[in-house]
Structure 1
């Protein structure tokens, strides 16, 4: 597909996103995930204090390198060697003129799962999208498409986590037949088709549902967005699912 030129950016930023997005819905298969071992093996050398110029930051990162960079950061976080990169006043000022995040995250709004901390990244590194249950609705999908088109981010990570409260609330609502109060019902209704088939499965139903939800939300990205599917097909975008362990701090890919 052609690059996101100035005219398309202007359309998106001037309120024409609906017109642009109307022709960008379609179907395709989700990207396959690599193993954590391969991601760790291909991890780039540790980052230094020197940050590439914002305009060149995203263009220099491939999907594989972006994934390795995230896993290298998570390894630092887990082992207590976090560097908290790109968080100085100099970084703040350099990024004031523009951003080029190297990865897009779709995570749960849970206060224990902030992507910049668990991946040991900083200002301008990640384009975060967080909502309870890491559910991809139309607004979130538009936000993700914007990041890929505007900033050229080569990686999307759908990040679920251990003992997800939104998933547990959905299981409880199904089992008890109770209605969730307020707009919490919207979350339950979105997760119900994913969670309900797993209720009779042996094992930890919450964790099974967390993993199933990661798969389902990742599949939604390319099934509902022709724009994202085209980038995946071209090889300049990769979509992976992952799970964060609350007890250890470790992120693993969901195969």
Structure 2
């Protein structure tokens, strides 16, 4: 797992991305103006038919960026959040534009844990992240359908599977696998989804099993998404979408890519 403790953007970003981001900053409109312009564009086109019939709009949308650029932006946002210097302080800005359209730059497969809110973690405003939370941050058919919608119809260029420190769902799965604990209600179904990552971690005999299982669960679901047919895998193969994994440390506020 990579360490972001110093210069997170430089350590995490692919070569050449930083320059690309800087160039975009020189020419980019402010968030409010950009969302406003995008909202007007979609509103003007909406009379013509369904969203899928607007290839020109899709190509010129604010989130029509390279996957690595999207990754750079959210990781820079996380650095701001961890450093207690967020850029997003006025959540009413762009509200009218968001009523017309959404242009998320990343989809986050996060945990339902109340301490792990992606918009705060990555310092992005409403409408900029497409979040699909579930306890244990795994992908099932319902979650995959949501991500397919985000990729195909919203133009999301990046998907991140985001685990977090001290995950209760992963911890419970470890107890079921190692101790044979029986969970009530529908929780056994959740355990079944997390079992592959937990078993992979147990086989490693790590010092910190919970941390290792959290990472392996993220890796497992990243691999599942990269191969998910028919939509996500097609976009991944074409280089239009990138699937990455990360683990959020609740205490420090930092996200480490895995």
Residue in 2 aligned with 1:58?
A: 63
Q: Compute the displacement of 1:86 (Å).
A: 6.7
Structure 1, unaligned runs of 5 or more = 1-34
Specify every segment of 5 or more residues in structure 2 that has no aligned partner in the other structure, as ranges.
1-8, 43-60
SS at match of 2:207: coil
Contact 1:162 1:210 (8 Å CA) reproduced: yes
**Partners of 2:106 and 2:82 in 1: CA distance:** 20
Q: Aligned-pair RMSD on alpha carbons?
A: 2.0
Larger relative contact order (Cα-Cα within 8 Å, sequence gap ≥ 6): 1
1:222 deviation in Å? 2.6
* Match for residue 131 of structure 1 among 126, 130, 134: 134
Change (3 A) 1:218 1:124: same
- SS, match of residue 199 in structure 1: helix
Report the counterpart of residue 125 of structure 2 in structure 1: 122
**Structure 2 partner of 1:192:** 195
Following superposition, the deviation at residue 84 of structure 1 comes to: 1.3
Query: Distance between the aligned counterparts of 2:180 and 2:106, measured in 1?
Result: 39
Q: Does structure 2 retain, via aligned residues, the 8 Å contact 1:243–1:253?
A: yes
Structure 1 pair 38–253 and aligned structure 2 pair: CA distance change class (3 A)? closer
Alpha-carbon contact 1:110-1:132 (below 8 Å) kept: yes
The answer to whether residue 154 in structure 2 is matched with residue 163 in structure 1 is no
Contact 2:111 2:163 survives alignment (8 Å): yes
The 8 Å contact of residues 85 and 121 in structure 1, kept in 2 or not, is answered as no
Match of 1:3 in 2: none
The counterpart of 1:227, out of the listed 231, 235, 255, is 231
Q: TM-score, normalised by structure 1?
A: 0.80
| Partner of residue 5, structure 2 | none
Q: How does 1:28-177 map to 2 (within 5 A)?
A: 37-39=11-13, 42-43=17-18, 44-45=21-22, 48-52=30-34, 53-54=37-38, 56-59=61-64, 61-84=65-88, 87-88=91-92, 90-177=93-180
